[in-house]
Chains A and B, each alone.
Chain A
Amino acid sequence: MSEIKKIKNLKEFSTSADRFEGANLLCPGCAHSIIVREVLNATNDDLILAASTGCLEVCTAVYPYTSWDASWIHIGFENGSTAVAGAEAMYKALKTKGRLKQPERTPKFVAFGGDGASYDIGFQWISGCMERNHDMMYIVLDNEVYANTGGQRSSSTPIGSSATTTPAGSISYGETKNKKDMMGIMAAHHIPYAAQVSPNKWKDMVKKIQKGFATEGAVFINAVSPCTTEWKFDPKNTMHLADLATDSLVFPLYEVIDGREYNITYRPKNIIPVEEYLAAQGRFKHLFKDEYKYLIKEWQERVDANWAYLQRREEAKV
């Protein structure tokens, strides 16, 4: 059994051994690198990592360089999950056959993918991995847009957001569809553990990641990743945006155990109006025109309804 790493404060956390190097090509202010570092620093165990094609992948493994000081694989856009599932199967096979080079070490298998790679093109692959219950963790770096290719909408893009394929215009308020409920879908696989996390609540995140690592079987994590480039905010405000996301309850932090037991892990003392979250981002700028203000009201109603739903699920314990 691997022991759970103890992390007392942020300083200790930020100075612990880095297996994800600062030398990468991600945008200044990108939340991806913060999340990845928080995940990797949550354990001292060996790691087998994968990334689907996307920002994280193209910015961290440009030949002949790599930002990864742990084994890492990228195959394509849709199959980061299955890449790690294949590696996990090989680990089990070599363990059974007594051919592991370091048999005393128990690695953790983690795949990262953006929301495009996860909610859209890689959806089936992730579903397959969750259904087969591989001993792995799948983490969505959810910035609600195809950021790597310049800001096209994904099925994670929320209503009213202006994306390059759903641009706001004289007769359009941008994206017209609601964000896909990926957490609900993954929970419906009845996997042992699913959780939504945000980089600003690092203690909550580390706790969940460690819980995930201690879980035998498939784990799904949806991580909010504010995107300075596509959400259009000042790069220094990444954590402020994450604060607005969690404290407006647009991104509530919760976990689902065995697909049934819901636990809310963060209750903001002061709930911020959704309007403030929207106002902080250029992608929603057009919603503040008079003709679209009804959308902001609907946004608030949706967030309220979702929060009520989560609380009911938590209380019900079913």
Chain B
Amino acid sequence: MAFDKMELNDIEVWDGNYAAAQALRQAQVDVVSAYPITPSTPIVEGYAKFKSDNFVEGEFVMVESEHAAMSGCIGAAAAGGRVATATSSQGLALMAETLYQASGMRLPIVLNLVNRALAAPLNVNGDHSDMYMVRDSGWIQFDAYCPQEAYDLNFIAFKVSEDHDVRIPAIVNQDGFMTSHTAQGVHTMDDDTAFGFVGVYKPMNDMLDFEHPVTHGVQTEEDWHFEHKARQHNDMMSIVPGKIDEAFAEFEKLTGRKYNHVESYDMDDADVAVVCMGTSVETAREVAKEMREKGVKAGVVGIRVVRPFPFMAVAEALKDVKAVAALDRSAPGGAAGMLFNEIAGALFNTDTKLLLSGYIYGLGGRDLTKAHLVELYNELQANADAGKLLTQQQQFIGVRGPKLAYL
């Protein structure tokens, strides 16, 4: 029975979850192996409904845990076809072992990660602690700030991940609830155009080619393990950025929507800037605009490609800025936040004299308000004017009780 195509309006009102589910349908994924968890559940529910209504020809396997979900994805990807899944938070934590296995086995898989806090205390709302937990897992990571981007970045993720020179799995992040459950206008592609962008899956080292048996998931010890891991990193650093550029360019040509490793907003003449991810980028843009009306030359840098981290692009975006805040939405657990560290790493050996401070915010879905950001920009301006940090290097914002500041 041939599957049906779906007629879409040019602009649909979709939340981030449904946008991701639609992207999986249009990419004609061969196997989705998944397990539901809030707030990503509607992705697999949406996909299940597409399957029940004959809009999906591929297999949909609802397994008994997230670990099994990714295990099934790995088996399916090694067999030789397009594979995707979705999860959040505890689910990602449970599948963490298999994330390293998937990337180490060089299997293209797309994982929609709807960002949510990690317990304890148990919390279903959005922060980036799950994204941060797997930052060294060897996956490419994209970050979507809104439903439109959750839709678009799925196609880009398939394109890059499945490239035979890449063969590295990719995560598409979106904020739990703020993006995943907030309906907005999404510019769609028709089914043929969307599938045309990702194309028919081209297998490599596929187990189902019976004429060429392959062994996946071997043992290596001190003799070869390091070379495998080094090569994986080398490809992330040397090959993946260029492939992402190509995919972004091709996608822009097709849709007019332009993506960059680093999304700069009002950075050309900025004195002070906020670097952040997720829905906070949009809030920060609004506040930056208002700060400019008050005479503060404010800008925003959004990180679009979290891994491989765009060190050069970040350094370039921040080179003329006087004071920068790194906003990390994850409990740092006795260290600086991830963005603080990466930005510091990007800038340390450059000529910049900018003042870098780190802010921990929004844990467990706590709102980052415009008022928080106004105060933050004012602190940055004061730092810039004084030519030194007037606050401690790491501060918590939006948390009850006495002000928390360190270093």
Contact = CB atoms under 8 A, between A and B. Distances in A.
Interface of A: 46, 48, 50, 57-58, 61-64, 66, 68-76, 78-79, 82-94, 96-97, 99-102, 105, 107, 124-125, 127-128, 131-132
A75 B71 contact: yes
Contact of A124 (B65, B72, B73): B65
A125 B65 CA distance: 8
A58 B220 CA distance: 9
B398 interface: no
A87 B215 contact: no
A87 B207 contact: yes
Q: Is the interface of A mostly helix, strand, loop or mixed?
A: mixed
A125 B214 contact: no
B53 interface: no
Contacts of A61: 215, 217-219
B31 A89 contact: yes
A76 B71 contact: yes
B224 A86 contact: no
A187 B220 CA distance: 37
Contacts of B137: none
B208 A73 contact: no
Contact of B98 (A69, A71, A76, A99): A76
17 contacts: A61-B219, A63-B219, A72-B214, A72-B216, A73-B215, A75-B101, A76-B71, A76-B97, A86-B73, A90-B30, A90-B31, A90-B75, A90-B76, A90-B79, A91-B79, A101-B210, A125-B68
Given A50-B75, A92-B59, A72 B80 contact: no
Contacts of A132: 61, 63
A82 B224 contact: no
A82 B71 CA distance: 6
A125 B79 CA distance: 19
B81 A94 contact: yes
Best-surrounded residue of B67, B206, B218 (most CB of chain A within 10 A): B218
A101 B211 contact: yes
Contact of B213 (A72, A84, A96): A72
A32 to B, nearest CB: 16
Contacts, number: 170
A86 B71 contact: yes
Contacts of B287: none
B293 interface: no
A73 B207 contact: yes
A84 B81 CA distance: 14
B186 interface: no
- Report the 9 A-B pairs with minimum CB-CB distance, sorted nearest first: A86-B75, A90-B79, A71-B207, A128-B64, A79-B71, A86-B72, A74-B217, A83-B75, A86-B76
Interface residues of B, number: 45
A3 B164 CA distance: 37
Contacts of B71: 75-76, 79, 82-83, 86, 125
B191 to A, nearest CB: 15
A34 B80 CA distance: 30
Interface of B: 30-31, 33, 57-59, 61, 63-65, 67-68, 71-81, 83, 97-98, 101, 105, 200-201, 206-211, 213-220, 224
B401 to A, nearest CB: 41
B220 A63 contact: yes
B220 A96 contact: no
A128 to B, nearest CB: 4
B215 A72 contact: yes
A66 B59 contact: no
A103 B179 CA distance: 42
A86 B74 contact: yes
Nearest to B209: A101
B208 A94 contact: yes
A69 B65 CA distance: 32
Given A75-B75, A82-B63, A107 B57 contact: no
Contact of A70 (B31, B101, B206, B213): B213
Nearest to B68: A82
A46 B68 contact: no
Contacts of A101: 206, 208-211
A82 B218 CA distance: 17
Contacts of A96: 57-59
Best-surrounded residue of B68, B74, B75, B105 (most CB of chain A within 10 A): B75
Nearest to B32: A89
Contacts of B75: 50, 73, 75, 82-90
